[in-house]
Amino acid sequence: MTRTDWTRDEIAALFDLPFTELVFRAAEVHRAHHDAGAVQRSTLLSIKTGGCPEDCGYCSQSVSADSGVKATKLMDVRAVLQAAAQAKDAGSTRFCMGAAWRNPKERDMPAVIAMVEGVRAMGLETCMTLGMLEPQQAKRLADAGLDYYNHNIDTSPERYGDVITTRSFQERLDTLDAVRSAGINVCSGGIVGMGETREDRVSFVHALATLPEHPGSVPINALVPVKGTVLGDMLADTPMARIDDIEFVRTIAVARITMPESMVRLSAGRESMSEATQALCFLAGANSIFTGDKLLTAANAGDDKDDALFAKLGLRAMAAECRLSEAAE
Ligand code: SF4
């Protein structure tokens, strides 16, 4: 039975294991619950970029950041569907759409719903990240057939206020509740390498692994420091604060062990990771990646590089049908 009663001490003990022992245990859990030779490839499209009123310290799209990202309007539905068709041709099985909003406004809902319906009709899994949702909005997205809603808890509850001041950790949990209650799969993870301690990483994984149900997808990002953002500028001056590769792999492994059935997604930060580090992440249980040259506004590894890496490691792209049927179970 999947446990949601992990204690912090148990999670800290996993982090403290000798590295090879931890990765071995994570690989065992991975094989017991997933096809270890297959990795899901998802594509992320920014459907509305920049100008966000929230002040997330890592984000170049916040109005508080001096990052040069230009604010755009919500994309046209047809253009989004074209991008989804291209992603499908390139081998993606899930299409994620992100808007830089605090929450979607009523006037945006018809277009957003048309995007979900159109992308789903192509046989792709759909995922959206639009900020905070009211229960009623979550219900409408569920009725449109949305498979996943991404809403990251970002970091540990203790450190949350140091990273974001315009909303609370509890508000994140409230949106996750609304999404779960509407019957949409939850996608929730966060970012490591924001200058947090090991204890914070323990608390971050603990918060995810003790949700009433584990998120179906758990994106684990390594901070991509962007100049002009609070954290990007802070870490530019203190390079030692950036996450160590081995510690990053440990975080993936602990997420895999504590949330055995979730898709653990290697997300932002992959672009600057060596192939060897990425291979260790796959061994430790990561089984989903974002593909394409861009992750919202940050650079990503790109399809060609990923094809070469998959060939080198003997990995297969996960089939859409398999994920869709699993999501329906
Ligand atoms: S992470 Fe999302 S909510 Fe936070 S500033 Fe960026 S776009 Fe806005």
Please write the tens of the pLDDT for every residue from 309-327. 999 999 998 875 444 333 3
Q: Has 322 been labeled as part of a binding site?
A: no
Has residue 237 been placed in a domain? Answer: yes
Has residue 3 been placed in a domain? Answer: no
Catalytically annotated residue among 127, 140, 172, 281: 127
Has residue 63 been placed in a domain? Answer: yes
What pLDDT sits at residue 242?
74
What is the extent of the structural domain holding 206?
8-315
The answer, yes or no, to whether any atom of ligand 1 lies below 6 A from the CB of 130, is no
Has residue 325 been placed in a domain? Answer: no
Instruction: Tell me what the mean pLDDT of segment 88-103 comes to.
Output: 90
pLDDT tens column, 121-131 = 999 999 999 99
Has residue 321 been placed in a domain? Answer: no
pLDDT band at 294 (very low <50, low <70, confident <90, very high): low
Has residue 236 been placed in a domain? Answer: yes
Task: Provide the residue type at 189 as one letter.
Answer: G
Expressed in angstroms and rounded, the spacing between residue 315 Cα and the centre of ligand 1 is: 33
Is residue 96 a contact partner of residue 150, using CB atoms and an 8 Å limit? yes
Instruction: Tell me what the mean pLDDT of segment 230-241 comes to.
Output: 75
Has residue 322 been placed in a domain? Answer: no
Expressed in angstroms and rounded, the spacing between residue 130 Cα and the centre of ligand 1 is: 9
Q: Which atom of ligand 1 is nearest to the CA of 62?
A: 5
The answer, yes or no, to whether any atom of ligand 1 lies below 6 A from the CB of 152, is no
Q: Is 127 a catalytic residue?
A: yes
pLDDT, greater one: 269 or 146: 146
- Identify each DSSP E strand in the chain by its residue range: 38-48, 94-99, 125-129, 148-150, 185-187, 190-192, 217-222, 263-266, 288-291, 294-295, 298-299, 316-317
pLDDT, greater one: 265 or 292: 265
Q: Is 96 a catalytic residue?
A: yes
pTM over 0.85, yes/no = yes
Expressed in angstroms and rounded, the spacing between residue 95 Cα and the centre of ligand 1 is: 19
The residues near 247 (Cβ < 8 Å, ≥ 6 apart) are 192, 198, 201
Instruction: Tell me what the mean pLDDT of segment 150-178 comes to.
Output: 96
What pLDDT sits at residue 121?
96
CA distance 291 to 286: 14
The answer, yes or no, to whether any atom of ligand 1 lies below 6 A from the CB of 131, is yes
Report the domain count for the chain: 1
The tokens of 101 are what? 């909003």
Which CATH number fits the domain that encloses residue 212? 3.20.20.70
Q: Is 242 a catalytic residue?
A: no
Has residue 187 been placed in a domain? Answer: yes
Instruction: Tell me what the mean pLDDT of segment 54-75 comes to.
Output: 92
